[in-house]
Structures are given as structure tokens and as C-alpha cells.
Amino acid sequence: MRHLALLLITLFSANIAYSYVDLSLNYNFSKRKIDGADTSVTAEDQGQAVTTTEGWSINWGWFIWEYTALELNYSRTSERLLDDRESSNSDGTFTIKEVDSLVVTEVQGAGLRQSFASRKSTVIPSISIGYAQLITSGETSYKVDDNGSEQDISLERDKEASNSGYVTLSLRFRLTKLMGLSLSAKSVMPDFDTSKMEDNLIYSAGFSWVF
């Protein structure tokens, strides 16, 4: 019994020597514009489609061993499409004048992170894997002209949640003793289906701190 107690104390003391927390905050933003292709009207009247994607994430890792950490993470991304390129049916009696669509994606995850360099290294690559809950919601509104009568139509997307797996590849560049620059690519796989790895990719950059 005494030997077991000494062994537990030794293991706990060794873990304390390596124990630290890595906290990172990341932000991503992108904007894409596609102009209309109707050559029968002026460029100003052709309309355009603008897609704006904005998101942020927080990652908390507790290194219980020198290179291995327990990880908790949360991210929220909103993607908005505003398209005012008009489209009509064959006889011109029904025209969609504008589409405004918003999709919000939230990911809550817990897993393990494995680093491949010590926290004192200039560059620290790591990989994280674990469980995530993927939550999606959103709404879409249309401005239409139905036989000369303009209408606004709104459709709300029900919130959906699915059990998922996630994989994150990241690089941390050490700037000071406690702060670094983090770059990461995260894939969320609904229902743990690895064939969907490319369907939910999140690229982000931000800062991280160790304490």
C-alpha cells in the first residue's frame, strides 16, 4: 500500500511539472462577390451575389503531460448570401428579385490534443481529435414579383444538432514566453462519417497564451 501511494505521488508530481494551460482565440472572415452575367442590361442593373463568412472560436487545452492535453473548444460561424440578380420563369410572370440567406453553424467539442514539440519550441505543430456536437440553424428571405404583385417570403430553418467527430491540425508560432500566433484547420464530420471531412472545413488564425 505504501509503495502504491509513493508511485501515485511520483506520477502526480511529474504531471505537475509539465501541467499548463494553452488558451487560443481565433477569428476568420471572408467575402466573395459575383457580378451578374446579363449582357442585355447595364452593369449597374445586372445585380450581384455577395457571400460573407465570419466566425470565431476558442480552444482550451490542459496539458496533463508534456505533449498531451485534454481539449475543450467552441466555434460559431455565420455565412450570409445576399443575391439581387433577378431570375424569372419562362413567361416572365414570376421573378425572384432578391435572396437573403443566413446559415449559422456552431460546434462544441471535447477531445485530446497531441503536440509534437515542447512549449518552448519556436514552432509547435499539433493534432487534436475528439467528439463534437454540430448545430446548424438559419433563415432565408425572398423578394418576389408574382404577376406584378411584389411579396416578401421568409423561411426559417429549424435548428439541427448531430453527434460528430472532429480533427484539427494546428501550428503555433512562439512570439514571447507566454504568447503565440496560432493557425489551424478543423474538419467536423457529422455522424462520424469520414467521407464528409471536406464538407465542414474551418480555417482560422489568432493568438494563444500559455499559463
- pTM of this prediction exceeds 0.85: no
Predicted confidence (pLDDT) at residue 9 exceeds the cutoff of 80:
no
Compute φ and ψ for 200, nearest 5 degrees.
-135, 75
How much of the chain exceeds pLDDT 70, in percent?
87
Average pLDDT along the chain: 87
Predicted confidence (pLDDT) at residue 129 exceeds the cutoff of 70:
yes
Least confidently predicted of 11-20, 104-113, 157-166:
11-20
198: which residues sit within 8 A by CB, 6+ positions away?
A: 187
Residue whose grid cell is 439581387: 84
Compute φ and ψ for 15, nearest 5 degrees.
-65, -40
Mean pLDDT (whole number) for 133-155: 92
Mean pLDDT (whole number) for 101-115: 96
Alpha-carbon distance of 58 to 24, in angstroms, equals: 6
Residue ranges and CATH numbers for the domains of the chain are 20-210 (2.40.160.20)
Per-residue model confidence (pLDDT) at position 45: 62
- Grid coordinates belonging to 166: 472532429
Alpha-carbon distance of 203 to 205, in angstroms, equals: 7
123: which residues sit within 8 A by CB, 6+ positions away?
A: 117, 171, 172, 173, 174
Helix (H) or strand (E) holding 77, with range, is strand 68-83
Alpha-carbon distance of 96 to 18, in angstroms, equals: 61
> Mind listing the pLDDT tens digit for each residue in 54-104?
999 999 999 988 899 999 999 999 999 999 988 888 887 899 999 999 999
> Mind listing the pLDDT tens digit for each residue in 19-41?
889 999 999 888 999 886 655 55
